[in-house]
Amino acid sequence: MRALVQRVERASVKIDGKFAGNIAIGLLVYIGIAPADNIETIKWMCNKLVNLRIFPDEENKMNRSVIDCNGEILMISNFTLYGDVHKGFRPNFMASAAPDIAENIYNKLVDYLRNNFPIKVATGRFGAMMDIESVGAGPVNIIIDA
């Protein structure tokens, strides 16, 4: 599992021109699923996301988590995070899980976040063409590999 995490002031996702999800202060998370991902990977990634200390404290040091600042998460499925461009100019996505496997893991990831942490989780729709808008804060962008 691979996540591209962006600290945001706000973010939203539209599908077919209609709002599907939005958040205020929090994390915009693009998530890629690998074939070997399982419930242990889900638990590890969720724990990492909600406890990642990238929000400023009173001294403007990155010392607070999304939970500490009552933030929210917008979770977007994104198989292109596993794009390999070492050879040629067209990305190879062979390291991504097949869509049926990835969708199942993605849904379990979102459910685990919602059921185990006191945080709003908004989403796009797996496999959809989505328009994502965000106002980054920082900028702060972190890549997490599980």
The pLDDT value given to residue 66: 98
Domain count, the chain: 1
Q: Would 24 be classed as within a structural domain?
A: yes
Taking alpha carbons only, the member of 112, 138, 91, 102 closest to residue 40 is 112
Each residue's pLDDT tens digit, 22-76? 999 999 999 999 999 999 999 999 999 999 999 999 999 999 999 999 999 999 9
Q: Would 100 be classed as within a structural domain?
A: yes
Q: Which helix (H) or strand (E) holds 51?
A: helix 39-51
What CATH number is attached to the domain comprising 95? 3.50.80.10
Kindly report the average pLDDT of the chain as a whole number.
Answer: 97
Q: List the alpha helices (DSSP H) in 74-140.
A: 99-116
Residue 110 structural domain: 2-135
Q: Would 143 be classed as within a structural domain?
A: no
Q: Once rounded to an integer, what is the mean pLDDT over residues 109-117?
A: 98
Q: Give 135's pLDDT tier (boundaries 50, 70, 90).
A: very high
Q: Is residue 105 within 8 Å of residue 75, measured between CB atoms?
A: no
